[in-house]
Structure 1
Amino acid sequence: MERESVLSQIGRRVRARRTSMGWTLKEIAERSGISPRFLCDLEAGKGNISVARLADVAEALDVPIVSLVSTDEEEKRVVALVGLRGAGKSTVGKALAKHLGVRFIELDALIESDTNLVLGELFSLHGEAYYKRRAYDLLVKVLMQNEPMVVATGGSIVTDPETWQLLKRRTHTVWLKASPENHWKRVLGQGDTRPMANRTSAMAELRSILSLRSPLYAEATQMIDTNSVRVTEAVRMIAEALTDRKRPPRSASLAARSLNAASPRKRR
């Protein structure tokens, strides 16, 4: 990775951690012993910081230094499931987490716990913009833990550009795709009658939302059609994709073998 890219990446992560915790530059400066001006340059990707000083910043932010400097590919130990309600995110997510031996988190449940409000109340009292802001802040906190896990996201997460870009950059995103009919049937099967409450054209609205969001969902790293794939098969497909991502490209492996073969052997 080029030097400018590394500095820019560190700056983004420092700022994301600081803002998600509600800390000011002045507070971090006091805790780290680094001037606010230098921290401002660091967040802008301009600060040529030493390892020792970056360690001070990491300590002030209460995160391991590796979470600020590791590459995006190294960090993609989190699987983020996206899709509309009824796609199977909770069902597949729990099974996948059990298979991988990692934690399973529902982002909407974190938001409810953090705000002490169920989603319906949150939207009524504060609106969609507030929900999206809390989703972003809590997602940053989750990713800063720097541990493998499976995260089920809210259906609208792809409509917030900043949050969606963060997910695509830092996680292995999986779109659990389903037909409008299956979305509808699964939600009602869970005892959730909200989709049809006071809406005579609820199915038409569902089709419209899915049509609008599908191009965004399609930007995910992996897509699984849950219309025809069972939970166990979906888990296997995601686990295999994670394994394949960790393997070096075949061309790189062949090149390495060719170089080894061409290297002169030492005489014994």
Structure 2
Amino acid sequence: MKIVLIGYMGSGKTTIGKLLSKQLTYNFLDLDHYIEDVEGMSISAIFKNKGEVYFRKKETQYLKEVLSLNENLVLSVGGGTPCFGVNMQVINEATPNSIYIRTDLTVLCERLIKEKDKRPLIANLPKEEFPEYIAKHLFERSYFYNQASHSVHNHQKSVEDLVVEIKQLLV
């Protein structure tokens, strides 16, 4: 079985995915970390040195590669992954267990301000522009995120509660 967690950066996909995979005794994979390992450089360095177009092409290639593995897997993908090329279609064709982790704008802003240096898309964004930037992105990306098989809202829920909720949705 493959479980793919999607949602905006900072929504908790990796944290939730690690606990979910542990409870299910599945392997866990963060697609961004996989790309960094294979490419031999950070996502930020790929964006800087090779550009976003190169990154997005490689992202699709590695997404297909990972989803074709013959193993039980919880996969956390980058916030933009479902929104480029045929990635959301690839995800939904590979598994009936794509799950959108919905997160409120205020929570995303709070989390992302703390880790902005690690996020190439927002690294140079002034703090006061976060709400507008993230709201715009969420609006643009919601079309793709809402194509997930399932959706959970993480408002005021613990990671443990979200994992229980997700396990109940699995096909």
Which amino acid in structure 2 is aligned with residue 201 of structure 1?
A: E
- Residue in structure 2 matched with residue 145 of structure 1 by the alignment: 69
Following superposition of structure 1 onto structure 2, how do residues 186-205 of structure 1 map, counting pairs within 5 Å? 186-189=111-114, 191-193=115-117, 195=122, 197-199=124-126, 200-205=128-133
- Residue in structure 2 matched with residue 168 of structure 1 by the alignment: 92
Cα deviation per residue 1:12-39 (whole Å; 9 max; x = unaligned)? xxxxxxxxxxxxxxxxxxxxxxxxxxxx
Following superposition of structure 1 onto structure 2, how do residues 119-268 of structure 1 map, counting pairs within 5 Å? 119-171=43-95, 172-189=97-114, 191-193=115-117, 195=122, 197-199=124-126, 200-242=128-170, 245=171
Which protein has greater RCO, CA pairs closer than 8 Å, 6+ apart? 2
Whether the 8 Å contact between 2:32 and 2:77 is mirrored in structure 1 is yes
Report how many aligned residue pairs link the two structures.
166
Which amino acid in structure 2 is aligned with residue 84 of structure 1?
A: Y
Whether the 8 Å contact between 1:196 and 1:202 is mirrored in structure 2 is no
Measured after TM superposition, the shift of residue 161 of structure 1 is 3.3
Cα deviation per residue 1:166-208 (whole Å; 9 max; x = unaligned)? 001112100000111111212334x444536343523211110
- Residue in structure 1 matched with residue 6 of structure 2 by the alignment: 82
Partner SS state of residue 79, structure 1: strand
Per residue, is there more strand in 1 or in 2? 2
Per residue, is there more helix in 1 or in 2? 1
Give the distance between the partners of 1:215 and 1:225, measured in 2 at CA.
16
Calculate percent identity across the aligned residue pairs. 25
- Residue in structure 1 matched with residue 41 of structure 2 by the alignment: 117
Partner SS state of residue 215, structure 1: helix
Query: What is the RMSD of the two structures over their aligned residues, measured on CA atoms?
Result: 1.6
The structure that has the greater radius of gyration is 1
Whether the 8 Å contact between 2:109 and 2:130 is mirrored in structure 1 is no
Cα deviation per residue 1:83-130 (whole Å; 9 max; x = unaligned)? 111101011000100010011100001111111111111111222221
Measured after TM superposition, the shift of residue 215 of structure 1 is 2.1
Unaligned runs of 5+ in 1: 1-76, 246-268
Give the distance between the partners of 1:228 and 1:215, measured in 2 at CA.
24
Which amino acid in structure 2 is aligned with residue 140 of structure 1?
A: K
Change (3 A) 1:196 1:115: closer
Partner SS state of residue 90, structure 1: helix
Cα deviation per residue 1:221-259 (whole Å; 9 max; x = unaligned)? 1101011332112111211222xx2xxxxxxxxxxxxxx
- Residue in structure 2 matched with residue 262 of structure 1 by the alignment: none
- Residue in structure 1 matched with residue 24 of structure 2 by the alignment: 100
Whether the 8 Å contact between 1:107 and 1:154 is mirrored in structure 2 is yes
Cα deviation per residue 1:141-174 (whole Å; 9 max; x = unaligned)? 2122211110000100121131211001112100
Unaligned runs of 5+ in 2: none
Give the distance between the partners of 1:198 and 1:182, measured in 2 at CA.
17
Whether the 8 Å contact between 2:92 and 2:148 is mirrored in structure 1 is yes
State the TM-score, normalizing by the size of structure 1: 0.58
